[in-house]
A and B are shown apart, each in its own frame.
Chain A
Amino acid sequence: MPVRILDILVALCLIALGVHIVWMSIGYGYIVRNVPGPGFFPFWVGLGIVLLSVLNLWKALRLERGERRDREGWAALRVVGIVLAMSLAILALPWLGMILATGLLIPVVGIIINGGVDRAFALRIVPAAVLMPIACYYVFGRFLNVPLITGVFGI
């Protein structure tokens, strides 16, 4: 997505968020018993978000098309891939547990960043996928006594 379009979309989202914050703040009570209530601070913060985002939107709209070229292009899709992989790993936690889920996540994220897999990369990522979750298990599960999620295999 071109940076200019993303800039406009973010500004529009922030304007909507600002309006929402102001709207909710009025419900919380701007002034309660003659002193500032729970809605006082959010009201001004929300208003600030709206005004600043309108100015940012105006600046983004003033930019010529293509004035700010997207230098990252398709590379940004890797970010989407990693976010999806992490989301799937989180959804799989109750079944796989922390160790197995992260053990599978490591090679998947590695392949996404690497843009593929070859023998040399596989020889490095597989040991990392095995050793890293085990090391984390010992640091967090044993040393720091964190009750890690275990899956159907009991690990």
Chain B
Amino acid sequence: METLGFLMAGIGAAMQPGILLAILVGVVIGLFISVLPGLGPAAGVAILLPVVVGLDGTMAMAALAGVYYGGMYGGAVTSILLGIPGDAPSVMTVLDGHPMAQQGRAGDALSMNVLASFFGGLFGLVMLVGVAYQVARFALAFGPTEMTALMVMALSLVSVLGGKDALKGFAALALGLWIGMVGLDVIGGFPRYHYGSMHLLSGLEFSVIAVGLFGLGQIFAAITQPPLQDSQKIRYTFRSLIPNPRELIRCRWDLLRGSVIGFVVGILPGVGATASTMLSYAVAKRFSRTPERFGKGAIEGVAAPEAANNSASYAAMIPLFTLGIPGSATTAVLMGGLLMIGLQPGPQMFQQHSEFVWTLFGTFYIGNVALVFLTILLIPVLASIVFVSRALLFPMIICVVMFAVFSIGYSVANLWIVIVFGVLGYVMLRLDYPAVPLILGVVLGPLLERAVRRTLIASQGDMMVFLQRPIALTLFVLTALFLLAPLAKRGLAAFARHRNAGS
């Protein structure tokens, strides 16, 4: 009841014209970004970050978060109408959404997308509000030792699960940790790796790195891909987009299962919304009485993944707001936004900036409701924007990037740095080095170093201190098991092969 009271006050505080406008701008940008070729929510949030940090803190974060959860609604529109997923989390929606559209049921699929997104989003929000406050209260007892263990666990999970190659994931993480060290030492203020540059002495600006890696890097990668071809136009009427209560009742368990899976998977660092859509689709098919319909236009195949990815987007915010540990690229950029407006996410934030947190959560509710109407209204525009020429779109985005990056510290040096990180992001994409561990290394590196060194300073350099606190020990053991399990599995398989060959 206590959290409900906070939330209601937060929703009331969010009902200001400026904040409502920020939500609107954020969710509309999110809808468009999610259907634009080659760009995802991380790129959208990164490019918008320098633009909004000059605004009031709540407005800035409402807009940035709006891009994130708005992106979860829009991606499915092109999946259904064109068979082209707007972003990774809407890939599974193509499987049944597009066949439904080809069968003349585009309206049913689109309305289920909106309904499932709203249901999943609402579930994720209720859980976010219910869980976040409790986790934050529990995490207040965490000292540097526990925070070190948590960060090591999160970074390991992201490095292993965030890409195709764990070795490259860890290499990217280490590179990010080093980039986070450029400038003054976090404990004693000793200058490191600045090479005589005053600009580097104050450290590399996080938002410049994020814009380079996720904005320019993704643009560079997208222009080397072949352009999309216009496909058969799918017809639908606005009347058919009005959600049908009978379909809702029919898919109720798929919506619920998808939302639960989305929440549980989404909260884990590095796993993300895409994995939750795959799992929820598989579960929906497994529980269906007619699994043979899946892949041929089953509405449950749209309901489950769309509920999952929207639920996951809010779940991913729990470790960010309660522990100060982002688990994905987009939440890392959101954390960068919080740091830029002078807020350190973590358990203390619920105490020190309670009004901000609950107002922000209030904006999520308003944004989720607004998205239902906005998505339905903008479907024709969203379906056509995917074919806007990249040769027209990308130069305009690069222009915004130039102005936005310069506005961070009014420095030309930042423009050079964004190009360097753009090229780095592109090379990493080509070589399957995941960028998410790198950006998390940049954000969490200084916090991890501070926690490790403070602990070791307090213990006079005794490493065993990390294993003397039960929570930290449990987290380290879980991390070790997670990292060693695949190696042990591979070793056992090799042993079995060797034994079979011998016999």
Contact = CB atoms under 8 A, between A and B. Distances in A.
A147 B409 CA distance: 10
A2 to B, nearest CB: 11
A125 B390 CA distance: 11
A17 B178 CA distance: 10
Interface in A4-31: 6-7, 10, 14, 17-18, 21, 24, 28-29, 31
Contacts of A102: 399, 402-403
B66 to A, nearest CB: 18
B198 interface: no
B54 A144 contact: yes
A72 B426 CA distance: 12
B192 A24 contact: yes
Contact of A10 (B187, B224, B422, B431): B431
A10 B391 contact: no
Given A49-B175, A125-B395, A139-B403, A40 B453 contact: yes
Interface residues of B, number: 54
Contact of B461 (A35, A55, A56, A89): A35
A149 B406 contact: yes
Contact of B430 (A17, A56, A72, A113): A72
A130 B395 CA distance: 12
Contact of A79 (B223, B389, B460): B223
Nearest to B182: A42
Contact of A146 (B181, B188, B410): B410
Interface in A78-114: 78-79, 82-83, 86-87, 89-90, 93, 98, 101-102, 105-107, 109-111, 113-114
Contacts of A98: 402-403, 406
A110 B190 contact: no
A125 B168 CA distance: 39
A56 B171 contact: yes
Contact of B167 (A3, A52, A101, A109): A52
Contacts of A93: 412
A59 interface: yes
B394 interface: yes
**A interface, over-half SS:** helix
Contacts of A83: 419, 422-423
Contacts of B453: 35-36, 40-41
A133 B412 contact: no
A24 B224 contact: no
B461 A82 contact: no
Contacts of B188: 37-38
B234 interface: no
Contacts of A34: 460-461
Nearest to B457: A35
Given A36-B456, A38-B188, A110-B391, A6 B407 contact: no
A45 B178 contact: yes
A29 B391 CA distance: 51
A101 B415 CA distance: 13
Interface string B178-203: 10010001011010110000000000
B141 interface: no
A124 interface: yes
B464 interface: no
Contacts of B193: 21, 24, 42
B223 A78 contact: yes
Residue of B54, B426, B431 with highest tally of chain A CB at under 10 A: B431
Contact of B190 (A38, A49, A82): A38
B323 interface: no
B358 interface: no
Contact of A109 (B175, B187, B224, B398): B398
B174 interface: yes
B390 A113 contact: yes
B174 A105 contact: no
A3 B402 contact: no
Contacts of A52: 167, 170-171, 174
B449 interface: yes
Interface in B402-445: 402-404, 406-407, 410, 412, 415-416, 419, 422-423, 426-427, 430-431, 433
A144 B55 CA distance: 8
A35 B175 contact: no
Interface string A109-139: 1110110000001001100110011001101
B140 to A, nearest CB: 26
B437 to A, nearest CB: 11
Interface in B90-112: none
A38 B183 CA distance: 11
Given A36-B461, A144-B54, A86 B403 contact: no
Given A21-B178, A93-B412, A147-B410, 14 more contacts: A21-B193, A37-B188, A38-B185, A40-B456, A45-B178, A56-B167, A79-B426, A86-B415, A87-B419, A105-B395, A106-B395, A106-B399, A124-B392, A146-B407
9 smallest CB-CB distances across A and B, nearest first, come from A114-B391, A38-B190, A109-B395, A75-B224, A113-B391, A52-B171, A136-B403, A38-B185, A106-B395
17 contacts: A6-B427, A6-B430, A6-B431, A17-B178, A28-B192, A29-B190, A42-B178, A52-B167, A56-B171, A72-B430, A75-B224, A76-B430, A86-B415, A93-B412, A125-B391, A146-B410, A148-B403
